[in-house]
Amino acid sequence: MRKSQQEQMDCNTLLITSLNSGSNGNCYYVGNDEEAILIDAGISCKETEIRMKRLGLSMHKVKALFISHEHSDHIRGVCVMARKYNIPVYVTPGTLLNCKFNKIKTEQIHHLRSFETITVGSLNITGLPKVHDAAEPHSFIIACGDTKVGVFTDLGVVCEELIRHFKQCDAAFLEANYDEDMLHNGRYPYFLKKRISGGQGHLSNKQALDLFLEHKPAHMTHLLLSHLSKDNNSPELVQTLFETHAGDIKIIVASRYIETPVFSIGATAISNVIAETSQLDLLDQLISYPSAG
Ligand SMILES: [Zn+2]
Ligand SMILES: [Zn+2]
């Protein structure tokens, strides 16, 4: 009885962390006790290893890399990491054409197609098309049993796919790239302001907040605001903005400089069941074998 509940917990619990988030590099870890994947490898392999070690995570559990798009802040560490650990790399054909992955063995590279689910152990990863100024950009949903985590960054607009899948997530990495006033009044040239906010670039705090307020599901427990601009946003501003409306949902701002802690998603309900069962079992044993106590 207890074993099957333990198995159920393994199958429903996802461990997640942002190893870095922002225009200087993106790398998101999603896994369980057995295996893990990385969404993007935008910091160096060495730095990824250092940060994972600090969190007690092992690169040897990472069984696949999934690439969202070809911008350098998402692929900088891919070649070294894929070669060093002999990990398969999942990438859309359009993204692959725009990446220089020629140092990776051909058999390590796998084509990713929209809405196709890739199974890595007990993790199911689905790529979703998104709007961004890249060849064939994708968001990702990672599921383990009933638990779902979304990775939604580098989005020009809140599209139907984003809404449909955000609604299903227990936890999500969601882009909150810029504060509209800070971008508008800031020092960026006009063309860059337009590139960021013109529907092919990044989500503003307001766009992300509107999505959150209108579509957050009742079972969501964690929201990790991601890919914050260094010049046109502030972590404190984002934290306050979302926390005001978050209720019981934990709000975390993913840093441009350091990893977040590891968060356990989808575990609470089952853990409580196991804790309760353990107490009942203990009581049962005391009643059955009073001399043992
Ligand atoms: Zn990016
Ligand atoms: Zn990008």
Domain with 58 in it: what CATH number? 3.60.15.10
Question: Do residues 18 and 253 lie in contact, with contact meaning Cβ atoms separated by under 8 Å?
Answer: no
Examine residue 201 and state whether it is found in any structural domain, yes or no.
Answer: yes
The bound ligand whose nearest atom lies closest to the alpha carbon of 23 is 1
Q: For residue 252, list its beta bridge partners.
A: 224
Question: Do residues 58 and 31 lie in contact, with contact meaning Cβ atoms separated by under 8 Å?
Answer: no
Distance 278 CA to ligand 2 centre (A): 48
Examine residue 290 and state whether it is found in any structural domain, yes or no.
Answer: no
The bound ligand whose nearest atom lies closest to the alpha carbon of 26 is 1
Question: Do residues 152 and 166 lie in contact, with contact meaning Cβ atoms separated by under 8 Å?
Answer: yes
Examine residue 289 and state whether it is found in any structural domain, yes or no.
Answer: no
Examine residue 141 and state whether it is found in any structural domain, yes or no.
Answer: yes
Q: Give the range of the structural domain holding residue 16, as residue numbers without chain letter.
A: 2-267
Q: In sequence order, which residues have a C-beta less than 8 Å from that of residue 238 and are 6 or more positions away?
A: 176, 205, 225, 228, 253
Q: What's the total number of domains in the chain? A: 1
Q: φ, ψ for residue 185 (rounded to 5)?
A: -90, 0
Examine residue 61 and state whether it is found in any structural domain, yes or no.
Answer: yes
Distance 37 CA to ligand 1 centre (A): 18
Question: Do residues 201 and 132 lie in contact, with contact meaning Cβ atoms separated by under 8 Å?
Answer: yes
The bound ligand whose nearest atom lies closest to the alpha carbon of 200 is 2
Examine residue 70 and state whether it is found in any structural domain, yes or no.
Answer: yes
The bound ligand whose nearest atom lies closest to the alpha carbon of 201 is 2
**Which residue, 220, 224, 209, is CA-closest to 255?**
224
Identify the residue whose tokens are 């044993």.
Answer: 285
Distance 233 CA to ligand 1 centre (A): 15
Distance 26 CA to ligand 1 centre (A): 7
Distance 153 CA to ligand 1 centre (A): 7
Distance 160 CA to ligand 1 centre (A): 21
Examine residue 285 and state whether it is found in any structural domain, yes or no.
Answer: no
Examine residue 27 and state whether it is found in any structural domain, yes or no.
Answer: yes
3-state secondary structure of 29: strand
Per-residue pLDDT of the chain (293 residues; tens, 9 = 90+): 344 445 444 568 999 999 999 999 999 999 999 999 999 999 999 999 999 999 999 999 999 999 999 999 999 999 999 999 999 999 999 999 999 998 899 999 999 999 999 999 999 999 999 999 999 999 999 999 999 999 999 999 999 999 999 999 999 999 999 999 999 999 999 999 999 999 999 999 999 999 999 999 999 999 999 999 999 999 999 999 999 999 999 999 999 999 999 999 996 544 433 333 333 343 333 333 333 32
